[in-house]
Chains A and B, each alone.
Chain A
Amino acid sequence: MKAIFTKTAGLSDRPFHYCPGCTHGIIHRLIGELLEEMNLIEHTIGVAPVGCSGFCENYFTCDMIGAAHGRAVAVATGAKRARPDRFIFTYQGDGDGASIGLAETMSAAARGEKITSIFVNNCIYGMTGGQMAPTSLVGQKTSTSPYGRDAATMGYPLDLPKVLTQIEGAVYVASVSVDSPQAIKDAKKVLRKAFQVQLDGLGYSFVSILSTCPTNWGVNPVEALEWLQTKMKPHFALGELKVPATEGGSEA
């Protein structure tokens, strides 16, 4: 009998620790499949963050380095400069990439580091139990914004990919979601491009993926997808926000 779907060699057999309805698992699978399809598993060094995905080194079958909170991009930079022949990616949450590690993200982009960052945005701090994130929406209730995020005192959500499009060294910037079968397919295409940009040595590639956190949003998995679609999507620029010059983009 012909197998029409198998688990990717890019992922181990270890069961995910993620909550029901969380989309980290889908994103992991897409990355694992691409590492396998692009023949990268043995040539890849992944950098794990601190946060819910801080244990992702248990799942990816490539070599992995565990970074401190917010420092994944600096770690990846150090590794890539040491081994330019390797494919290097960071897997980070919104707190990691857009708050505590914002300087590292922006600076790596400015230098055009030939690495790929996968930025999983669920508008909340998951690992620590549902605190306000740099991407939390105005009015969003979290354990540290219990009356809702008040723009006057807590500011506004940061749309990091949109900001990165302004940086010359960030040559491929995309923002996608994985909330439907079609969206998952599209996300994989975007990730493949981001990986290829690094393999072609063009510069920094960055893919933001809108993700769910039913546990800390206080909703069930189905409601979480609705929340993502109705609340999150209107607040974040989506699509391929910047493509390399070879595709008619604005790369210098």
Chain B
Amino acid sequence: MALLMKGNEAIAEAAIQAGCRLFYGYPITPSTEIPEYMAKKMKAVGGTYLQAESEIAAIYMVYGAGAVGERVMTGTSSPGFSLMQEGLSFLFAAEIPCVIVDVMRGGPGLGGLGPTQADYFQLTKGGGHGDYHAIVLAPFSVQEMVDLTKEAFDLADYYRNLVIIAADGILGQMMEPVEFPPVAGRKLEPKTWAASGAEGRPKNNVLSYYLTPELGEAENLRWGEKMSRIKETEQRFVEYEMEDADYAFVAFGTSSRITETAVDMLREEGIKVGLYRPVTLWPFPEKGLTARLNQIKGWMSIELSAGQMVDDVKLVVNGKAPVGFYGRQGGMTPEPEEVAAAFKAQLLGGE
């Protein structure tokens, strides 16, 4: 049976269904329905909702719960996500699995409450210090918020890596029909590394430091191998009208919904254009894009930012075709007509 739910609530419910029994967070618009839903529902399932004093404390509470081996989540929005960056770096180094939701809003600074995708760099390049990446999943519908949240916990445990759900103010706030089908899930190893109390085994330490540069390099190389493994196996994307396309948009999340409409409009005019939609922002889905390089005469990244993902598109296209960009900022979203017009101006020479 389908339920009508807000994106934020759907993420929270999916997390509970994925076995998450610990939520630490600090309220911030437009993500606040996540802590509110958790505050209401965790009690009934014997879990814990705890309101932290700040996003800094929240992410380290996540660190503590993840370090003892439990499934744990926090949810926030851009300014709060900025505060968590130190913790993300530590979570990566200590290899503590956890799930973080960033419901992006306008920035920089306090910004506004409208939707943006301007945290893309912070999400995908590592907003904290050091060489690290989170696995970043970008849903484009409330249903996908459910499906990807459930999977996020498995990915986190499987790779012992932080996983971020990258949503935005529209996806978090809008209501859509949604279903919660049972998920088989991955086969996961027991968390023998966790610092959960050394009953009947040698003690465990969960740490993020190394004292010698030699060890530091070895650890970084080991993490690099893990990143390569994730890059190789976890790239996800969805194609729309790409089979016979001459031109292609690249867009994720809310901007991909708008772009889908722009694709339909342009096709009605007889222009063969498609949409390549990354579902994993990190790893960026290079493989699917590379497979289309000989087919596509021009690419165009549509984002709710000044142009961030477009850099990754250019790296993959590597000069083989022009790469355009159109975006709106500060909480504004483009109309499909704007997207179509920008496409014509930049890739069809103003036709």
List residues of chain A with CB under 8 Å of any chain B CB: 41-45, 47-48, 54-55, 57, 61-68, 71, 74-83, 86, 103-104, 107
Contact = CB atoms under 8 A, between A and B. Distances in A.
Nearest to A46: B195
Given A66-B94, A104-B53, A83 B200 contact: no
Contact of B60 (A68, A80, A82, A86): A68
Contacts of A68: 60, 63, 86-87, 90, 208
Contacts of B209: 54, 66
B50 interface: yes
Contacts of A81: 22, 24, 48, 50, 61, 65
Contact of A63 (B54, B64, B94, B204): B204
The 7 A-B residue pairs with the shortest CB-CB distance, nearest first, are A78-B64, A78-B61, A74-B60, A107-B53, A79-B64, A75-B64, A66-B207
A83 B208 CA distance: 21
Given A76-B64, A79-B64, A63 B86 contact: no
Q: How large is the interface on B (under 10, 10 to 19, 20 to 34, 35 or more residues)?
A: 35 or more
19 contacts: A45-B195, A48-B207, A62-B198, A63-B196, A63-B205, A65-B63, A65-B68, A67-B60, A68-B60, A68-B90, A74-B57, A75-B63, A76-B64, A78-B24, A79-B195, A82-B22, A82-B65, A103-B56, A107-B53
Contacts of A67: 60, 63
Contact of A45 (B24, B66, B70, B197): B197
Given A41-B198, A77-B50, A71 B56 contact: yes
A75 B60 CA distance: 5
Contacts of A48: 207
Contacts of B196: 45, 63, 83, 86
Given A74-B56, A78-B22, A86 B63 contact: no
A43 B62 CA distance: 20
B57 to A, nearest CB: 4
Contacts of A86: 68, 196-197
Contacts of B351: none
